[in-house]
Amino acid sequence: MLNEIAPNIFSNSYQYCRPPHPGDVIAAFTKQGVLKTPHGGFYRFSDLSGAPPEAFTHLIAVGNISVYCCDPELLQSLRPEAIALPLRRLRTYQPQWLAFAIATASHLAHWYRTNRYCGACAAPTQPSPKERALICTSCGFTKYPTISPAVIVAIHSGERLLLTHNPILPPSVRWALVAGYVEIGEALEDTVHREVAEEVGLKVKNLRYVCSQPWAFSRSLLMGFSAELDGPDTIKIDGVELDEARWFERGDIPPLPNTATLTNTLITAFKNKKL
């Protein structure tokens, strides 16, 4: 999965006062993606001569390399040759540790960008010097980073696995699994049962938690489950989120285009009789 970057060590510790070092990665995000060099790499602080250190916000670190964000207009003024890499391309970008670092940085940068004003009184916010939080300069309301919990479930019946297709996914993603966000008041297991019923009209039993994955592209924490079919196997797609769903025999599961996702991990585990 994208977050499996060993032996590199990921750290999301809050380093409010740490100034950027020459080798630190600078990530500037636009509507088109993350700005990078024309030759494939990302800019380092040493590439931005004349930029004031206070213009950069520390986000995360991998080993001894930190990732900072800055205003994209600043980076483009210093390096006008910069081009945008769509964030989805990070799913296959190498090295993987850097792809994961930039993706995670995009999650935090989005949070900073969309919480510049207090949601309670509309006054400007400022970073807390003590913890990862934004504090209202007027009423003192404290805002912490937002993570959306979601579930993905591999539904199997004997030697068959249910695969689905969501028309909003990239063309390279032909098949996926039933998935959805956790609603207020729901346990994870309740979300699995609800999403399965809503999307494909089935019932499941014997839910088993498999593993999880932070997924910065939707600013989510994905939790993967396996579940057995409980009752009739007739599929009734919702026609809204899904436009197709089909049972596949274990040996007929089509090749998967991407190894970075939890979906891929669950499907591969079923193919290899480990689920």
pLDDT for 207-250, tens place per residue? 999 999 999 999 999 999 999 999 999 999 877 888 889 999 99
User: Taking phi first (over 0 means left), then psi (-120 to 50 degrees means alpha), and beta for anything else, what does residue 73 get?
Assistant: alpha
pLDDT of residue 131 exceeding 70: yes
Domains belonging to the chain, first-starting first, are 10-113 (3.90.79), 115-145 (no CATH), 148-271 (3.90.79.10)
Instruction: Please check the confidence at residue 170 and state whether its pLDDT lies above 70.
Output: no
How far apart are the C-alpha atoms of 187 and 106, rounded to whole Å? 28
pLDDT band with cut points at 50, 70 and 90 for residue 275:
confident
Question: Which DSSP symbol is given to 15?
Answer: -
Residue 46: pLDDT above 90?
yes
pLDDT of 60 reads 96
Q: What is the pLDDT of residue 73?
A: 95
Integer Cα distance of 244 and 108 in angstroms: 34
